[in-house]
Amino acid sequence: MIVDVPIPGIEPWEKVKVDPRLWHFGFHRVPGLAEKLLAGREAIYFGYFLRRSAADPKAISDEDVERYAHAYSSPGQMAAAMGMYRATDKDEKFGEEQRGTLDVPLALIAGGNSFGALLPTMAKGLRDAGAQSVAVDTMSGGGHYVLDTNSAEVAELIERYATGVPPKTTH
């Protein structure tokens, strides 16, 4: 299950890369910068992102923000988080080059107010790369942090996929 993220090197990656709402991709990629600028300010940063990206900003509590801030304030944790962004060039190249049959069921899920609109294109990109089974589910009222704001719905999807009963495919 791939939850509410684009896949580097898989369409619509070219569109995602230039989306001005995703300015932080570039910021997070600069080695060492985010860690230095955000040290001691994790709650401000995560509060901004969590609430900005949630379908309902009120669904993100101060406790939620503090949980994220605390988790990323430990030594090395912010650098680890930024590592995902810093690996984008390699991930993009890998995504573009990998072709062949992939017979593992994949499920793409996203909030309708986040990457949900891109899921059909992402599913097609994965199928074009060789994925044999790609399902798509969009949480109509969800934002980017569906694990926080739509946890029951995400848990239901995981349960249904884990038991071999795929949820309905929506576009």
b/e string for 133-165 if b means 16 or more Cβ within 10 A?
ebbbbbbeebbbbbebbbeebbeebeebbeeee
Q: How large is the average pLDDT for residues 140-152?
A: 90
Residue 78 near residue 41 (C-beta atoms within 8 A):
no
pTM: 0.86
Q: How large is the average pLDDT for residues 34-61?
A: 94
Q: How large is the average pLDDT for residues 81-103?
A: 95
What percent of the chain has a predicted confidence (pLDDT) above 70?
96
Higher pLDDT, 167 or 119: 119
Chain centre distance of CA 132? 22
Could you count the other beta carbons within 10 Å of the beta carbon of residue 42? Answer: 20
Quick one: pLDDT at residue 171?
43
Q: How sure is the predictor about 168, in pLDDT bands with cuts at 50, 70 and 90?
A: low
Quick one: pLDDT at residue 164?
80
> Is residue 66 over pLDDT 50?
yes
